[in-house]
Amino acid sequence: MPQQPPFPPTTGAAMPPPGFRAGPPPMSPPQPAPAAPRRTHRWGLGAFALAELAFLACSFLVGVLLIDPEAPSVSQLGIAVAVPTLVAAGVAIAATRLRGNGPVKDLRLVWSWRDVGAGVAFGLGGLFVTTVAAMVWVSIVGPDVNSAVGTAFDGQRAAWPAALGIALLVVIVAPLCEEILYRGLLWGALERIGANRWMCFGVTTLVFALFHFELERAPLLLVISIPIGLARLYTGRLLASIIAHQINNFLPGVVLFLAMTGNIAF
């Protein structure tokens, strides 16, 4: 008898390979959705210039309308220190809300215990460095060189609640507002035009020292500004530089409080 062929006869169509299973093709794994584009702010250097102009205009108006040039009171001086700084910070925050994503995203003003620790570290290190720098600076230019706030409150006396209020203004409020303005608004404006983080650090450090308008103390202010800017550079956020700035202002605030309450000669 003729033997059967080992494979069934074909009809001209190619046979499927071994292991072939008829049916729909296997489904590919789901692909992740494309990331949403990062929202960028529309404010820039113009917003910083507007905030600085608001600071200068408010300082002028307060000086003309509220301050007694002959015998300014502690409350008048407190207003002169607080209001322009608060107005400038308010303009900065308004710019982020009107032409950006708000201060949390645009200024990177978020709470983080890690940033608090970094701010304390940079603040204490900076306090040591700036204390030594201040001693050297006084030995060079003489003991009469004082900050604008120290000069304004020289000889003023107040009860401890008022003196404490001024000290808290110097230690807590002023650093917060200045950091929002310089290492928040100005830093973000520089990033918008393509500056890298080291350029942002350098420019904001220099502008901080010059825009206090205390040219005789500008080199010392430059030294003070470096560790504060490094806190912002290291963490990438604003809280660390705020904490570092507040620690840097702690000793001047204590000295001001003791002088105004008559416990030490200022």
What's the CA gap between 152 and 162, in Å, rounded?
15
- Indicate the domain borders of the chain: 45-62+70-260
What is the DSSP code string of the chain?
-PPPPSSPPP-SSPPPPTT---SSPPPPPPPPPPPPPPPPP---HHHHHHHHHHHHHHHHHHHHHT--SSS--HHHHHHHHHHHHHHHHHHHHHHHHHHSS-HHHHS-----HHHHHHHHHHHHHHHHHHHHHHHHHHHHH-TT---HHHHHTTT----HHHHHHHHHIIIIIHHHHHHIIIIIIIHHHHHHTT--HHHHHHHHHHHHHHTT--GGGHHHHHHHHHHHHHHHHHHSSSHHHHHHHHHHTHHHHHHHHHHHTTSS--
pLDDT number for residue 37: 45
pLDDT number for residue 209: 94
Residues 6+ away with beta carbon under 8 Å from 254: 167
Q: How confident is the model at residue 213 (pLDDT cuts 50, 70, 90)?
A: confident
Mean pLDDT value across residues 222-234: 96
For residue 34, is pLDDT > 90? no
Q: What is the dihedral of CA 169, 173, 179, 181, to 10 degrees?
A: -100
- How far lies 7's CA from each of 10, 14, 47, in Å? 9, 13, 83
pLDDT number for residue 46: 96
Mean pLDDT value across residues 42-66: 95
Mean pLDDT value across residues 135-163: 84
Residues 6+ away with beta carbon under 8 Å from 39: 101, 105
Mean pLDDT value across residues 187-194: 95
- How far lies 78's CA from each of 156, 171, 265, in Å? 11, 13, 20
- Nearest to residue 62, comparing CAs of 88, 81, 80, 87? 80
C-beta of residue 231 within 8 angstroms of C-beta of residue 119: yes
pTM, 2 dp: 0.83
Mean pLDDT value across residues 243-263: 93
Tokens of 243: 């904490």
